[in-house]
Amino acid sequence: MSATTWAIVAVVVQVAVVVVGAPFLVGLMRQVRARLEGRAGAGSAQPWRDLRKQLRKEPIAPEGSTIVFAAAPFVLLSSLLLITAAAPFIATTSPLDGVADLYAVVSLLLLGSVALALAGLDTGSAFGGMGSSRAVTVAALAEPTLLVAGFALSVRVGSSNLASLVEHGQRAPSTILSPATLLAAVALWIVVVAEAGRLPVDNPSTHLELTMIHEAMILEYAGRDLAVVELASAVRLAILLSLWGTLFLPWGVATTAAPGALALGVVGLVAKVSVLGAVLAAAEVFMAKWRLFRVPELLAGSFLFGVLAVSSSFFLA
């Protein structure tokens, strides 16, 4: 088979691995947390069992809700699938390479958040609106950091294309230990935590009305729609962790479309994301959710790291 065919195979494999693996990632993180808290846990496959159960049930839309509510899960999931197809998680040879610009990926992530926030408002329930307003606040605070940290990474390479960033990182591993990259890594990690709705910004397992952010927006979804939203939030977490892992630990990502390199890329991606997810879950055991009014502090801190990363990538290089 030619290189183009293998590149297409790589995209298909990448989408399959991320979509199938994302619920397992959520399950793994819950399992790590359960074990550390001394519980047996439900097993890593539990999110998939939940999804299968929800997929069999009929979706119910609240009275008076419009197409915004009905379309949001699919807009969210499809924007995430597009990112998965374009981003160089397994191989840098994707035919959609032109889309895999850091800023395009950020915008696509934001598109999904906005769709979900609008759906939360569309239901007209008090909690939906509250969740949407909180989610948009967090997104608005996290987005500048994402852009500034991305800028710090792309200054050195001269391109904001994800594949170029990854290839540059593989060619010159010493740049990964530079202060600019380390500061950008810290800033992006905080943003990943905020965007994925993990502790201390949002508690993914709570259903307490006054504290939830993500869960408040999706409170009115049921059945198939809920399954899509749940799958999308798992994929979102997987994408954010893979993005962090690929940008700061670029080893293992295939730069040529060959079967061996692709296999290595899959193994590398699964290993990186599992380790990152386990570390995140283990750190969450020792954390409590912050008051909502302290969240801007966290994001101002990550923005500061982003600014420092940009300035040191200009001056300390």
Partner 1 sequence: MSESVYAQLLYLLCGGLLLASVLMLWRRQLSALISLLTAQGVILAGVAALLGTQDGGLELYAVALGVLILKGGVLPAVLRRVLADTGAARETQPLVNVPASLLAAALLTLLAYAVSRPLVELDPTPTTQAVPVGIAMVLLGFFLLVTRRRALSQVAGFLLLDNGIAATAFLVTAGVPVVVELAVSMDLLLVVLVLQVLTARLRATFGSTDLDELRELRD
Q: Which residues bind partner 1 (CB under 8 A)?
A: 174, 177-180, 182-183, 296-297, 300-301, 303-305, 307-308, 311-312, 314-317
Contact 163, 10 (CB under 8 A): no
User: Nearer to partner 1 by C-beta: 89 or 305?
Assistant: 305
Minimum Å gap between C-beta 148 and partner 1 is: 10
Minimum Å gap between C-beta 46 and partner 1 is: 37
Cα–Cα nearest to 207, from 139, 136, 125, 127: 127
Minimum Å gap between C-beta 190 and partner 1 is: 11
User: Nearer to partner 1 by C-beta: 28 or 190?
Assistant: 190
How far is the C-alpha of 215 from the C-alpha of 200, rounded, in Å? Answer: 15
Cα–Cα nearest to 130, from 201, 72, 217, 198: 217
Contact 272, 242 (CB under 8 A): yes
The token duo for 122 is 């569309």
Judged by DSSP in three states, 158 sits in: coil
Say which residue the tokens 């059945």 belong to: 223
Contact 229, 145 (CB under 8 A): no
Cα–Cα nearest to 164, from 250, 258, 80, 267: 250
User: Nearer to partner 1 by C-beta: 16 or 300?
Assistant: 300
Minimum Å gap between C-beta 146 and partner 1 is: 16
User: Nearer to partner 1 by C-beta: 127 or 290?
Assistant: 290
User: Nearer to partner 1 by C-beta: 90 or 308?
Assistant: 308
Minimum Å gap between C-beta 301 and partner 1 is: 5
User: Nearer to partner 1 by C-beta: 187 or 273?
Assistant: 187
Minimum Å gap between C-beta 15 and partner 1 is: 37
> CA triplet 203, 303, 268: central angle to 5 degrees?
65
User: Nearer to partner 1 by C-beta: 2 or 174?
Assistant: 174
Instruction: Compute how many other C-beta atoms are within 10 angstroms of the C-beta atom of residue 226.
Output: 21
Minimum Å gap between C-beta 153 and partner 1 is: 15
Cα Rg of the chain, angstroms: 19
Calculate the dihedral angle through the C-alpha atoms of 143, 146, 152, 153, rounding to the nearest 10 degrees: -150
Contact 132, 218 (CB under 8 A): no
Q: Which residues contact 50 (CB under 8 A, 6 or more apart)?
A: 230
Minimum Å gap between C-beta 188 and partner 1 is: 15
